[in-house]
Amino acid sequence: MPRVLSLGAGVQSSTLALMASEGEVGPAPDCAIFADTQSEPAWVYRHLDWLDSVLPFPIYRVTAGSLRGEILKATKGEQRADARPPFFVEHGGMLRRQCTQDYKLIPIHRKVRELLGLRKHQRGPTHIAVEQWIGISIDEASRMKPSRYPWILHRWPLVEREMSRQACIQWLVDHNFPVPNRSACTFCPYHDDRTWQHMRENDPASFADAVLIDRAIRNGVMKQRTGKPLSSARWYVHRSLIPLDQVAFNDERTAQLNLFENECEGVCGI
């Protein structure tokens, strides 16, 4: 039975991949699959390239296109916004998250089907045919979910070993491996203030891209044909409902905490 590792290129999934390469988790996966939203910070792609050079199994990079591009087109009324991230809405909490499904889960599932030799629209097996590893740590166990496909068995090796995110970082340090930053789109509303601050200070290009998206979504998405806003509510990337380039990330009154516990599919930010 083939084993595939869902690789986000963050701390946990990188640790899991490297532990497998060191023989500490086995049997080793046959491959890793990275779903590229084409919208992540430069550090994610640099780390992914490094992983590709050291892992003994291949990394398949799959994509549904550019999430960033879809958002920008939707704000101009050029296409529907089917895969909207959970942006913060004035007087309305957060939008329903669809980006993980469209830009992470579907491309990974499509690649798994391809690896099994399944044709488009062909039914999957009636028995468990694939073991899918997911890099969720014990402190994020709430993100564990069974596969929605009966022929895919989810496995969480880090949880099996009761390893926390901090334990993963320590393992990387002990083995002289680089410790990656969190893997997520530049404009992800789940970023905490520490991540925003780090991005602004250390990756100004990625922060500028997030600011661009934040400004573009201010009036929400536009109706196709008419070019009018779907609603009068204003959208923001940050929970403070303040333009991102004006947020004081050290202000406790508007602080944004880590919201990746809400990422229930467990494939972003790891």
Provide, rounded to the nearest whole percent, the portion of the chain with pLDDT above 90.
72
pLDDT at res. 221? 80
Integer-rounded Cα Rg, in Å, for the chain is 19
pLDDT at res. 270? 63
- Based on DSSP, count helices (H) and strands (E) in the chain, helices before strands: 9, 8
SS3 state at 87 = coil
From 9-23, 108-122, 210-224, the region with the lowest mean pLDDT: 210-224
The answer to whether 63 touches 36, Cβ cutoff 8 Å, is yes
19-73 pLDDT tens trace:
999 999 989 999 999 999 999 999 999 999 999 999 999 999 999 999 999 999 9
d(CA 3, CA 264): 22
From 180-184, 198-202, 260-264, the region with the lowest mean pLDDT: 260-264
Domain ranges across the chain: 3-262
Give per-residue burial for 55-64: e unless 16+ CB within 10 Å, then b.
Answer: beeebbbbeb
Chain centroid to CA 254: 24
Residue position matching structure tokens 């500490």: 24
From 16-30, 72-86, 216-230, 235-249, the region with the lowest mean pLDDT: 216-230
233-255 pLDDT tens trace:
899 999 999 999 999 987 666 66
Architecture of domain 3-262: 3-Layer(aba) Sandwich (3.40)
pLDDT at 111 over 60: yes
d(CA 216, CA 72): 7
From 45-59, 80-94, 101-115, 200-214, the region with the lowest mean pLDDT: 80-94
